[in-house]
Structure formats: C-alpha cells, structure tokens
Amino acid sequence: MGNYAAVDLGASSGRVMVGEVAPGSMKLDQVHRFANVPVRAAGTLHWDILGLYRGVLDGLRAAGGGLTSVGIDSWAVDYGLLDGSGALLGNPVHYRDGRTGGIPAEDHYATTGLQHLSFTTVYQLAAAAGSPQLEVAEKLLLIPDLIAYWLTGSVGAEATNASTTGLFDVTTGTWAWELIEKAGLPARLFPPIRRPGDSLGATLPDVLDTPVPVVAVGSHDTASAVVGVPARDERFAYISCGTWSLVGLELDAPILTEASRLANFTNEGGVDGTIRYLRNVMGLWLLQESLRTWELDDAALPDLLRQAAAEPAFGAIVDPDDDVFLPPGDMPARIAALCGRTGQPQPASRAAVVRCILDSLALAYRRTLRRAQELSGREVDVVHIVGGGARNALLCQLTADACGLPVEAGPVEAAALGNVLVQARAAGDVGPDLASLRALLRSTQHIVRYTPHPNPAAWASAERRLAP
C-alpha cells in the first residue's frame, strides 16, 4: 500500500490530493485547495506562480509524513524562463493574454500534429522574440516542470506537456529540433524529455523535512485525466470537461492526414506512448464567466441548472469556440451580441443563457466526436465525461442525446486519480498497463450512466443553424 500526493493545478484553482492505493482499493482525499488567480500588471496578464507554489508547499506539508511519492500535473502551453543561475525570469504569462493575437499561423502539422491555437507555446515565444528575458534565458520549463524543479532541483520536460508546445515531434517523441532552429530559438532552452513514471529525484530540504521522491506523471492534466477514464476497452470517447473541454479518442498512433489538419484536430502525447486525438472546445469557461459576471458562486448553479432544464431546447445557440469568448469578461453580453448578429433571439433570462451554453456545448461535442471517428476510423460505443463537468447532470444528458450514445460521467477528480495511478504503478502497487489502472477505477469510483433520448433530426437541425 502507498500514499501518493497528486499536485493538480487547474486554470482557476489548485489542489493537493492524497491517494491511498492498495490491491483492489483506491481512496482519494483532498488535503489542500487554493485559488489560482491571475494578475494583470503593466497591461500583461500573468500567472501568480509563486502563489501557486506556496499553495503546493502548504498542501504537501498538510499531507503529513508517510508519502510514497509526489506527482504534478497542470494546464499546458505556458512556461517560465530560467537564467544561468536557475532563477526565474519574471512571472509566466497567461495564455489568455492578448500578446499572441497577431502572430501568423504556420503549418507544421506533419511534425507536431497540433491543431492551431493562437496561444500555443511556439506563438508565445514568437511574441516574446527580442525580449531581454528570452535573450538571456538558459532554460524553458512548462508549468509542472517548473514546480518540479523548485521541489527537486531537477530540470527536464515531461513528454505529454511538451507535446503541446508546437515544438515537439509527435512521431518520434522528441523535441522537433529543425522547427526550433527555424523559429530562431536556441537549443539550450529545451531540457531533456522525461516520460511518465520517470524519477525526478527527491524533494529538497527546504520543501519537506523528510525527502520524498517526485515522479513524472502525465503532467498535462488532460493526459492524467485520460488515464483516469474508467474505460472497459478501446471503443470509447472521452470529454475531459472543466474550464476547457478536451474532446477526443485515445489512439496508438497520430493521425497526420490533410483532412485531420483541415479539421483542426490535435495529436497530443498520452501516457504509455498513446495519442490523445482531440479538439479543444471552450468548455465550462462560458458558464464560469457568466456566474462571475452575475456575482454568483457555485452554490447558485443547481437552481440555475434546474431552471435551464425547463427552458426550450435550442432557443439560441452559439459556437462556443468563437474567438469572442476567449478573453475574460461579460460572457452573457457576448452571447447576446453573437445571437443578435446571427439573427437569433437573445436569451431573455439567466436560465436561458445557461441553456444556450449547454445546448451549444453538447452540439460542439456531437460534431467533434463524429468527426474524430470519421478521421480515425475508430468507432465508439460510449462517451466518458470526466472532470468537473461530470457533476453537471443536464450537460451529461444533453451530451448523450446529442451524440446518440450512452454517457458515463465520472470520476470528477480524473486528473488527480490518473496522476496517483501512474505514481502507484511506478512503485509497483498496481498492474503494469492502462487496462489494469482503469479496472481499479471502475471498481472503486462513482460513475453515473446517462441513456440517450434520441432525436437526431432536432440535433441535426440545430447543427445546421451554426453551419458557415
């Protein structure tokens, strides 16, 4: 039996969870939760990385003694730069900052397999070209690698997160050195690649009184979340649903066809050399920002969802991936404005706004999963929703209805569970393959099944309203 600390950093909060794993059992407890609040300074939106690190330290210390190991996962693309002494050169810039908006896209799909997103690491680096920080930097560390460096003093780049940078060769699993050179970036910035399960060393004396091993996990939170999908076989789709929704399939090899590129699908690295073949959908960000605009907290959401369920279906729908929704701000006003521009009635109440968001997300999931199956040749029998969206019963039911497939919702803490399971496997506490990890999840985690209420004509009609 082992006790494993999962540091799970999300776009709005961080958690330190401790998972107790033994043969046939798994228990997960939250020992510390802390806010992740970005800071705008001199016109630039930054992550408060030292505040996050303080939260990590508080959580690890609250976990007490007896930890077997620690693993770290977080969001992708953002990074910190270190100078030659190992000091951080400024706070990492937030991917929602507007600095990459004017950077032209380049097509390196055959190498990176990535969909075009304006805030990908390669475009952030292009925006930083010529800056004093980049000129003197010796190493670039993505967020989980930066936290691991402060915990252990060890420098490296975990593969699943490195695969999101636009500077990684998805076919070889290494840095794409030709692209790095073409981008005018010094090779010294890019540290050695590490794989899930690799040892990163032990915590330093100023971290914990007793050294604890730190282990590489799927450090992109979606990579850990996909490990945390309780699938029975390969015929599944997943929606890792939080601030973003990552919608796709788990494959053995990337899909690098021209059709895949044009459809804007991404091939990101997964645990055990798998490929997360997916598209980013804006996700619950629209709902989170609406609640913030209305000055409501999560306690108000159950009543809003009950009211939204009584609203007419498809009263108004939007494309949740429209660029207008990317920055923080008044999301209900933006939704109303977009409805007006597309000749639809504007949602007349908060419940109508919520129904618009959830109908729109379910439509986005429907078309994304249909296209993923077409491009990959992989048919699926079930959709797994993991992450915070698994709690949203209305969204789960709408997704089942939209896709015409059963939805299995849960676990909510899929990223933390996947993080823990990779650590436990490295320690020999669980079986050797993903199937073994997922079997343990099915036997220990709460999962809710939603049966579809098919009405394909209504969903197809709504989808046509959003066609260009």
Q: How many CB atoms lie within 10 A of CB 464?
A: 8
Q: How many CB atoms lie within 10 A of CB 210?
A: 10
> What residues contact residue 336 under an 8 Å CB cut-off, 6+ apart?
346, 347, 353
CA–CA separation, 326 and 97 (whole Å): 10
> What residues contact residue 421 under an 8 Å CB cut-off, 6+ apart?
19, 21, 26, 227, 228, 430, 437, 440, 441
221 counts as catalytic: yes
**Helix residue spans in 164-300 (DSSP H):** 177-182, 221-227, 258-262, 285-293
Q: How many CB atoms lie within 10 A of CB 256?
A: 16
3-state secondary structure of 465: helix
Going 316 to 321 to 322 to 325, the CA torsion angle's sign is: positive
Backbone dihedral angles phi then psi of residue 143, each to the nearest 5 degrees: -55, -50
From 169, 221, 272, 429, the catalytic residue: 221
- Report, as residue numbers or ranges, the catalytic residues: 221
